[in-house]
Amino acid sequence: MTDADTLIPAFDGDTLVPAPKLAVHIEGRRHMAVSVFVVRGGQVLIQRRALGKYHTPGLWANTCCTHPHWGEDPADCAVRRLAQELGITGLYPAHRDRVEYRAEVGGGMVEHEVVDIFVAAAPEGLAVAPNPEEVMDTAWVDLHDLTARTQRRPGDYTPWLRIYLEHHAEAIFGAVKRGC
């Protein structure tokens, strides 16, 4: 089974059913997803997606994002993808919110996601070892600077990161976003 064939939870009406990941994006079907933000003080770890990704290659995104496998708990998925994408282990992100968005992501594909968002606090010296098939670069960025950057150069950032920062920052980041 290829990554594109991985079965993820997608909606058929109000019922979740297993569906191939790539087909869900091509059809623009509503489906479940997970996004993780690793923070350290007022900074957030972002990643630049590998050029081999089938949508939004080379764009900057939140720390990691993915789709739970069919039957996988979202919290377990968050921990799994931190390790798979960035080599980060030993963090157990806290659930912050569930949001829904729809965005075109290029190549005729649409992300219509119901996203469980998680946040984890990083210790100083957190080891990050990006998987080059997933991630081409990482950066620690001040949250306020990141918001300004996405507004100045939106084409450098994934649609979902821009949506999170514009519409859901308070729920995700709370006091960090307020400057406390």
Out of 64, 65, 77, 111, the active site residue is: 65
179 within a domain of the structure (yes/no): no
Q: Identify the CA nearest to 121 among candidates 44, 40, 45, 176.
A: 40
Q: Are 39 and 121 in contact (CB under 8 A)?
A: yes
Would you say residue 108 has pLDDT above 60? yes
What is the model's pLDDT at position 5? 79
More reliable by pLDDT, 177 or 116 = 116
What is the model's pLDDT at position 174? 85
Q: Are 32 and 74 in contact (CB under 8 A)?
A: yes
Q: What is the pLDDT of residues 117-160, one digit of tens each?
A: 999 999 999 999 999 999 999 999 999 999 999 999 999 999 99
Would you say residue 177 has pLDDT above 80? no
pTM over 0.85: yes
Asked about 170 being catalytic, the answer comes back as: no
Asked about 65 being catalytic, the answer comes back as: yes
User: How do beta strands 30-40 and 60-61 pair?
Assistant: unpaired
Range of the domain at 71: 3-173
Would you say residue 2 has pLDDT above 90? no
What is the model's pLDDT at position 180? 33
Q: At what angle do helices 159-167 and 143-152 cross, to 10 degrees?
A: 120
The total domain count for the chain is 1
Task: Determine the average pLDDT of the residues in 79-91.
Answer: 97
Mean pLDDT, all residues of the chain? 93
Would you say residue 73 has pLDDT above 50? yes
104 within a domain of the structure (yes/no): yes
Would you say residue 78 has pLDDT above 90? yes
CA gap 143, 131 in Å, rounded: 24
Q: Identify the CA nearest to 36 among candidates 121, 105, 109, 100.
A: 121
For the beta carbon of residue 17, count every other beta carbon within 10 angstroms: 14
178 within a domain of the structure (yes/no): no
180 within a domain of the structure (yes/no): no
CA dihedral 176, 43, 155, 34 (to 10 degrees): -70
97 within a domain of the structure (yes/no): yes
Beta bridge partners of 106: 109
Out of 64, 85, 111, 113, the active site residue is: 113
Domain CATH number, residue 47 = 3.90.79.10
